Amino acid sequence: MFQLVLSGLALGCVYCLVALGYHITFVTSRTLNFAQGSAMMLGAVTCLILVVDLGWPMPLAAFAAILTLGVFGLILEQLAVRPFVRRGSMAWVMSTLAVGIIAENLAQLVFGKVPRGLPSELAREPVTIAGAGIYPLELLIPVVVLAVAVGARIFYGGTMLGRALRATAYDREASLAVGINVDLMVGLSYALSSMLAAVGGVLIGPLIGVSSSMGFLIGLKAFAVAIVGGLEHPVGILIASLAFGVMENLIGGSFGSSVKEIFGFGIVIVVLFVRPTGLFGRMSMRRI
Amino acid sequence: MRGTVGPWMWLIAVVAAVAVAWALPSVVGRYYTQMLSLAGIYVIVAQGLNLLVGYTGQPSLGHAGFYAIGAYTGALLATKLGMSYWAALPLSMAAAAVSGLIIALPTLKLEGPYLAMVTIAFGIIVNSVAIEWSELTGGTQGVLNIPRPVIAGFRLSLEGQFVLIVAMAAVITLLLRNLMRAPWGRSFVAVRENPIAAEAVGLDTRAVKTVAFTISAALAGAGGHLFAFLQGFISPEAFEFDASIFFLTMVIFGGAGTLAGPLVGAPLMTFLPELLQRFVDFRLIIYGLLIVGSLYALPRGVIGTLFRRTLMLPEITPGRTQYAAAGRTGAQPAAPPGKPIVTLRDVHIGFGGVRALNGVSFTVETGTVHALIGPNGAGKTVLLNVLCGYYPPTRGEVALAERTLTGLAPHQVARLRIARTFQTAQLFGEMTVLQNVLLGFQGRSSGRLLESFLVSSRLVREEEERRMAALELLAFVGFQGDPRALANSLPFGHQRLVEIARALALAPSLIAMDEPAAGLNPREIEDLDLLITRIRDSGIAVLLVEHHMDLVMGISDRITVLDHGERLAEGCPSEIQADPRVIAAYLGVKDAAETPLT
């Protein structure tokens, strides 16, 4: 039980990393990157290729994978989001989904269909805490998320770039007026969102195995927690992610995976019925 | 007489499609007949999805769920209860429709990504239930040995089913075309184009969305039913998230919001994987690239991009547009002047810490032009929004004669004959001028669905009457342009006039106008002056929010001045012009009493 809770928290943290990616692009550009799940998968796959096939040390490989995905995010925004937003069209929904499909199948071509394990020192021997066997990596994951949160705080509050990004999220027109390169900020938010997903992929890879299809469901669930927490509320997203991860583990542990999905997504519908803009979202008054 | 030839052309098209379907299997062989049958089924699903996504503008990333419910209902009724194909079909559609209704009702408040999430969740839940509830659904194995349909004692072959599917797809397309030509079609598109304006003409946007959801789900259910009987077996694999994306791609690729879009998109997407077969490993990569590429090159889909005209909503009698000589408003017989219509009592409203209205009371009387003036930020527009039901007041009451309006939704206020126009004209951009005004007449009710599907002769007659009335209104407001032009192509001044004509179509007892003179040139303002007078003389009271003082002082019978959310003064124009407090509020100085306010 305690073990399920602990590993649920770790899983929730990964959802949170991917979900924050939806949040970042949404606040800066009112668009969502539906290739988030694929970005997570690409992060894990890149890391695995570097570690296993090229023999890089893990930390360096992880770092390189995350940077690679930053570039991926920039390109994705340029090719599959910006042209459509400029036209005022919603086609970015389809185009980011399509990029996800392309990424998944490119990965399958390079990587093969069989899932492979990402070896990690931290996921070899479980340690025992209060009677619960748990991998050190599962304890590291929340620490990483905490570090990301603190890092984000410093970045947003203390650097010009971070403030510019926040200004863009707050008011696009005003940001343009004070000379912020809004296009660059939106591109940057896509890079950041893909990098966060890659962090999640690198972290969860050793625990669940790496395959080209690993990102799909996690990407969807991360979207679900982002919505339930409130797309514009990072703290709400964190809380929703952790709750969702723990709940999933508890239900999945006793009833199996289909029941887990039914409950998980059922709760999403119920929450939105009660709170149309997520648990922590505020209903904003329509401006007329 | 294009109006009467049209339906026959369509009927001929249906018969021709069925005839081709009859002949085709012997030419193309069994395998392609199967593929074509699937394409026909997808046409039905895509037409339904198009009604929701293309016409009504509501996202769905979970249509595979409705499709699955139709398929499982049909398959289980046939295999477990021995029910016939025909008896089960309406039940399959009903099961999907009911689930559409259930999913639509609690989610009507949701917008954009939040609504998309619910549809995703719904699709995944249906799929997971199909896997989990194995006693009923056969789990991952699915339902096997679904009998082939029987017609007049004959068991239908694949070729027979193909003809049946094509006939159904053609008839459904025809029925949907009728629906879109009827007032209902305008209601769907109005919700997509401008929800705020839709409410302002009295449309219950939630009801419209619910109807769209339900019809859309029923058609997906029909598709699922046909699919189950065509294949002879079903399993959960066919109903995963991918399938929802696949359906959406058909609609968008073909041309969302066009009737022909799904007819093209569904077969193309059915055969595309086939064409890509020889690329084996690269298949899905090319598929993805094609989606992105077509979104670039064909922003409105194949049909919408190549034939712009198909994006226009079809009409019942497109041939007979002509101007009426004399303009009338169709107002109620004029009430005796000087009776209160709308009374505001002690209205308060705040946003966060800002008190926008702080205990405002006044009465608008019949037969008057009542102006509401005040400096920027005084709360004038907020007051109109409270009056029309867009914002609920935190305290106080709005009353129409004896009836309270407080707590009513905007469309309910509009149905009580209180019309309004907006600071920036809120039109249905992708609809014609005429269709915009017609929506003003039908806000109360879009009509019976069955009558709309079949285009009854009564409906045609009513449309003709509405059309004449709309043209008269356009003449009344002095609109000189083409009533068949798209609203978003109009010059600014014309947009204003169309919006006023649409508001008058509600046959209002009061029309609230928010800065109608803003952005107009002096000649247009002169015309507006005359128009407002004509409106008042026809028995409609006018509540006018306006900054243009010449206009206000010239035509108002009574003026209320707001400042910082409070009523500063009220009286006839000469009293207001002489009031030192008003002058101070406008000029921001206390001792400006000598400066005349013009």
pLDDT digits (tens, 9 = 90+) for A118-141: 888 787 778 887 777 788 888 888
Closest to B428 measured CA to CA, from B323, B313, B509: B313
CA of residue B71 relative to chain centroid, distance: 29
Q: Is B137 on the interface with A (CB under 8 A)?
A: no
Q: Is B22 on the interface with A (CB under 8 A)?
A: no
Between CA B598 and CA B582 the distance in angstroms is 12
Residue A250 has pLDDT above 60, yes or no: yes
Q: Is B113 on the interface with A (CB under 8 A)?
A: yes
Between CA B88 and CA B225 the distance in angstroms is 8
Chain A residues with CB-CB distance to B430 below 8 A: none
**Residue A119 in tokens:** 């070896």
Chain B residues with CB-CB distance to A288 below 8 A: 196, 381, 385, 390, 422
Residue B153 has pLDDT above 50, yes or no: yes
Q: Name which of B271-285, B331-345, B530-544 the model is least confident about.
A: B331-345
CB contact under 8 A, B391 and A285: yes
Chain B residues with CB-CB distance to A240 below 8 A: none
A94 → closest Cβ in B129, B132, B252: B252
Between CA B10 and CA B51 the distance in angstroms is 19
- Would you state the pLDDT for residue A287? 67
User: In which band, very low, low, confident or very high, does the pLDDT at B183 lie, cut at 50, 70 and 90?
Assistant: very high
Q: Is B431 helix (H, G, I), strand (E, B) or coil?
A: coil
Chain B residues with CB-CB distance to A97 below 8 A: 245, 291
Residue-averaged pLDDT of chain B: 88
CB of B516 closer than 8 Å to CB of B544: yes
Chain A residues with CB-CB distance to B106 below 8 A: 269, 272-273
* Chain B residues 393-422 within an 8 A CB cutoff of chain A: 422
* CA of B501 vs chain A CAs: smallest distance (Å): 20
In the chain, the amino acid numbered A129 is I
List the domain boundaries for chain B. 25-240
For the whole model, what pTM was predicted? 0.91
CB contact under 8 A, A101 and B109: no
In the chain, the amino acid numbered B355 is R
* CA of B79 vs chain A CAs: smallest distance (Å): 25
- Would you state the pLDDT for residue B296? 87
Q: Is B241 on the interface with A (CB under 8 A)?
A: yes
Neighbours of B449 (CB within 10 A): 14
Residue A281 has pLDDT above 80, yes or no: no
CB of A192 closer than 8 Å to CB of A211: no
User: In which band, very low, low, confident or very high, does the pLDDT at B175 lie, cut at 50, 70 and 90?
Assistant: very high
Residues making up chain A, counted from first to last: 288
Q: Is B109 on the interface with A (CB under 8 A)?
A: yes
Close Cβ partners of B528 (under 8 Å, ≥ 6 residues apart):
B496, B516, B517, B520, B551
Q: Is B119 on the interface with A (CB under 8 A)?
A: no
Q: Is B173 on the interface with A (CB under 8 A)?
A: no
Q: What percent of chain B has pLDDT over 70?
A: 94
- Would you state the pLDDT for residue B339? 84
- Would you state the pLDDT for residue B223? 97
Question: What are residue B171's phi and psi, to 5 degrees?
Answer: -65, -40
* CA of A263 vs chain B CAs: smallest distance (Å): 8
**Parallel/antiparallel/unpaired status of strands B558-563 and B566-571:** antiparallel
Q: Is B132 on the interface with A (CB under 8 A)?
A: yes
- Would you state the pLDDT for residue A257? 83
* CA of B110 vs chain A CAs: smallest distance (Å): 6
> How far apart, in Å, are the Cα atoms of A151 and each of A9, A159, A162, A236, B150?
20, 11, 11, 18, 68
Residue A37 has pLDDT above 50, yes or no: yes
**Residue B41 in tokens:** 């089924």
> How far apart, in Å, are the Cα atoms of B590 and each of B264, B373, B582, B595?
71, 19, 10, 11
Which DSSP string do the residues of B168-221 spell out, in sequence order? HHHHHHHHHHHHHHSHHHHHHHHHHH-HHHHHHTT--HHHHHHHHHHHHHHHHH
CB contact under 8 A, B351 and A285: yes
* CA of B527 vs chain A CAs: smallest distance (Å): 26
- Would you state the pLDDT for residue A135? 85
Q: Which of B119, B122, B126, B132 to mutate to test the interface with A (most CBs of A within 10 A)?
A: B132
CA count, 13 A, side-chain hemisphere, B514: 20
- Would you state the pLDDT for residue A113? 82
User: In which band, very low, low, confident or very high, does the pLDDT at B325 lie, cut at 50, 70 and 90?
Assistant: very low
A265 → closest Cβ in B116, B124, B284: B124
- Would you state the pLDDT for residue A200? 95
Residue B40 has pLDDT above 90, yes or no: yes
Q: Is B249 on the interface with A (CB under 8 A)?
A: yes
Close Cβ partners of B522 (under 8 Å, ≥ 6 residues apart):
none
Q: Which of B60, B99, B117 to mutate to test the interface with A (most CBs of A within 10 A)?
A: B117
Chain B residues with CB-CB distance to A277 below 8 A: 114
Taking CA atoms, what residue in A is nearest to B117? A224
Taking CA atoms, what residue in B is nearest to A277? B114
Between CA B524 and CA B425 the distance in angstroms is 15
Task: Write down the H helix ranges in B105-157.
Answer: 112-132, 134-137
- Would you state the pLDDT for residue B6? 59
- Would you state the pLDDT for residue B1? 35
Q: Tell me the count of A-B CB pairs closer than 8 A.
A: 122
Q: What percent of chain B has pLDDT over 90?
A: 54
A32 → closest Cβ in B109, B113, B390: B113
Question: What are residue B150's phi and psi, to 5 degrees?
Answer: -115, 135
Q: Name which of A194-198, A215-219, B327-331, B441-445 the model is least confident about.
A: B327-331
* Segment holding B541, helix H or strand E: strand B541-545
Taking CA atoms, what residue in A is nearest to B385? A288
CB contact under 8 A, A106 and B120: no
Q: Is B324 on the interface with A (CB under 8 A)?
A: no
pLDDT digits (tens, 9 = 90+) for B4-30: 445 677 788 888 988 998 888 888 888
Closest to B190 measured CA to CA, from B177, B204, B178, B176: B204
B117 → closest Cβ in A105, A108, A223: A223
Helix (H), strand (E), coil (C) string for chain A: CHHHHHHHHHHHHHHHHHHHHHHHHHHHHCCCCCCHHHHHHHHHHHHHHHHHHCCCCHHHHHHHHHHHHHHHHHHHHHHHHHHHHHCCCCCHHHHHHHHHHHHHHHHHHHHCCCCECCCCHHHCCCEEECCEEECHHHHHHHHHHHHHHHHHHHHHHHCHHHHHHHHHHHCHHHHHHCCCCHHHHHHHHHHHHHHHHHHHHHHHHHHHCECCCCHHHHHHHHHHHHHHHCCCCHHHHHHHHHHHHHHHHHHHHHHCHHHHHHHHHHHHHHHHHHCCCCCCCCCCCCCC
CB contact under 8 A, A269 and B122: yes
B299 → closest Cβ in A87, A98, A259: A87
Chain A residues with CB-CB distance to B122 below 8 A: 265, 269
Closest to B75 measured CA to CA, from B224, B268, B219: B224
Q: Which residues pair with B541 in a beta bridge?
A: B510
User: In which band, very low, low, confident or very high, does the pLDDT at B47 lie, cut at 50, 70 and 90?
Assistant: very high
- Would you state the pLDDT for residue B2? 40
pLDDT digits (tens, 9 = 90+) for B335-348: 677 788 899 999 99
Between CA B39 and CA B411 the distance in angstroms is 41
**Residue A174 in tokens:** 């005003």
Over range A226-233, report the average pLDDT: 90
Q: Is B107 on the interface with A (CB under 8 A)?
A: yes
**Residue B528 in tokens:** 């507006």
CB contact under 8 A, B288 and A277: no
B248 → closest Cβ in A83, A94, A278: A94
User: In which band, very low, low, confident or very high, does the pLDDT at B593 lie, cut at 50, 70 and 90?
Assistant: very low
- Would you state the pLDDT for residue B461? 87
- Would you state the pLDDT for residue B592? 45
Placement of tokens 């705080």 in the chain: A153
* CA of B531 vs chain A CAs: smallest distance (Å): 25
